[in-house]
Structure 1
Amino acid sequence: MEEKNYFAWLSIDDGKPVKFAELADMMAKALHPSDDEWMDYGVARVNLEQELPQAVQRGELVVRNPAGLGRHTFPVGQSLKSSVVLPQDLIPFLGARSIGLRIVKQQAEARSIDWEYWRAMRKAKEWQACALSLGLDPDSMKGHPQAWMAGPGSGQLFTSDSFPSTDAQVKFEKRLRLLRANRYDRAVFTPPLTQYSSLGPDEVLLSEFAAWGQSVGWPDMPPELVEMAKPVALPRSTKEAKPFAPKTRIEPQGGDSLTPTIWTICYDLRDAGKKVTAGPVMAELKRMATQKIHPLTCTTAGGVKYEYEKGDEQELTAPQLDKRVQEWRKVGG
């Protein structure tokens, strides 16, 4: 639609979501921008403060959780006031009211990445790696003060001004979700075993990450990161000085939905030169359960719970796990 067909225009900064609590004021000012229209502005604002929540409830206006920018599932009361609106969600809503939206391009702040540091570090947290893949300096990103509202296991969340644009923020979050979905692919990534490796549970080798990023088709990775995409072995412990060479792994025959996970942990411990017993295996299962990594669902006082066949939930206790480890040892030990 041409500019002349709009009754008024609302301007927002590029890459910054609009706070829902400020939207009524912004729209009223767009409709009545002149100082001598202050009475009309006041009436419009009062009306909009009543209309906007109703529009949200009717589904005409989409609001999002400020922590993660996911669509808000319960936009009422204080939760609605603290929500945000993205430009793409605002355009059709304003257009239906003959208000146009102007997005003011801002000069992105230069974010210099210390590539020498990351080359020497060789590893990074998942979110740091995804930031580097977009040319964003992890040290310049700001944690969101309401990240706790996203719940446990949601990971690190950042304010919108950590990104040069909304598109960059959306792309970052998609890459992070994709990485976490593939993090336990042993054919691609070195497994993170907090107690038995220099890799933390949410860390990746940058060499492996860069190679994987190329394989999934990320053409915009900085050349400095692309150069790291070569096989570099990280010792599994401070005692090891030579690259890790995994032994043969035999897949389990039979068992239930949790058996492959147990066997994988046993193999990882064995290949790291560690003693394979129920204790360290249970510790890793509990860590995975807190992150709800399938099929694990939660921890219990005696062990963990996991999703069994047909969606049923079963508990695995330490004595039961010990028997399973003994079964694995007959084949893989």
Structure 2
Amino acid sequence: MVNSVLEYNKKNTFSLKKCFVLLLYISLSFLLFFFVRDVENSQDYDNYLSWYFSSIKESSTGSVLSIKDPAFYFFSNFSALFDGGVYFVIIVFVSISIFSKVFLIAKFDTAIIATFSLLYFCKFFFTLELTQFRAAAAIGLSLVSLSFYMDRKFFSSFFILLISLCFHLSAFLIVLTIPILFLVKKDKYEKTIVLLFIFLMLLGIMFPMDLSFFVFLPVIGERLVPYFDASYEVVALSLLNSYLLIKITLYTLYVLWFYVWRDEKVKSMNRYYLKLFFCFSCLGTFFFIFFRLNDSIALRLSEFFSVFDLLFFAFLSKVFSKESKVYFRFFLLFLSCAFLYSSMNLIT
């Protein structure tokens, strides 16, 4: 399994076409940030402005523990030195998020990068990079940490994880992928993993989690209090969710292809990344189902693994024959249009 991954990575070294696609991803990201998204009218802008002035005020006390997040505190005070304001802090966070994702996807082939980029721009870019600035930066850095871990650069992985936690505590969720990385490398655990995720999702459907159990935990409990004291409006999410149903449909297709039909092409293809992103995506879906009684928490947890949803979609196209692959990519294009329409409605 390790040799096949190394072989895949070796085949997909940088080419002129790949560099062009990555440069296009970066350029389009910043163009959308500077010329399309009105940051001052974003949902969380007032909160960021408040945290910015609070961070500057707190700097006189020398207390980092009393502010929202250490990274926001640091960049706010750095920005204040030259009157950059909260806008400079937001630019830094957005830049970290964009370049972190480029660092992860650069190891894949050009077709995967292009497919992922289209899906990500339409589905999550406006609602994460251009709205949830701290979470987006933390997710990006945690993906870099995971990438280093997969390359067995453990010190770098741990160091980047610590940095990502300074941006948002949700970055710690990336640690949950480590046991999955170990299990996916072992072919003998393949069916066990699939059955485990099926069981977890059924469990989540029947017994959704009540977050009040976590209120008494140190640090985490403090962050959950606003969801119970009416500071935030909280609603339950429906399982009849279009994005959830799309994922379940593609999960079913994956399971049928690899564990029921198992034709010769499927059995012989290198699908390490497909298996890996299937599992990571299932983990995010489980969180959505399990914590659906609280929309903010369910969406935050599932969005953390959203990159893996789209990478799973992109890698799934490799399973199709040459002709069928064209139809599947048209399907993904249609999905992208639907995602973009939904994103525009959410931010407006």
Asked if Structure 1 and Structure 2 have the same fold, meaning a TM-score greater than 0.5 normalized by the shorter chain, the answer is no
TM-score (norm. length: structure 1): 0.22
Which structure: greater strand fraction? 1
Which structure: greater helix fraction? 2
Highest Rg: 1 or 2? 1
Relative CO higher for 1 or 2, CA cutoff 8 Å, sep ≥ 6? Answer: 2
TM-score (norm. length: structure 2): 0.21
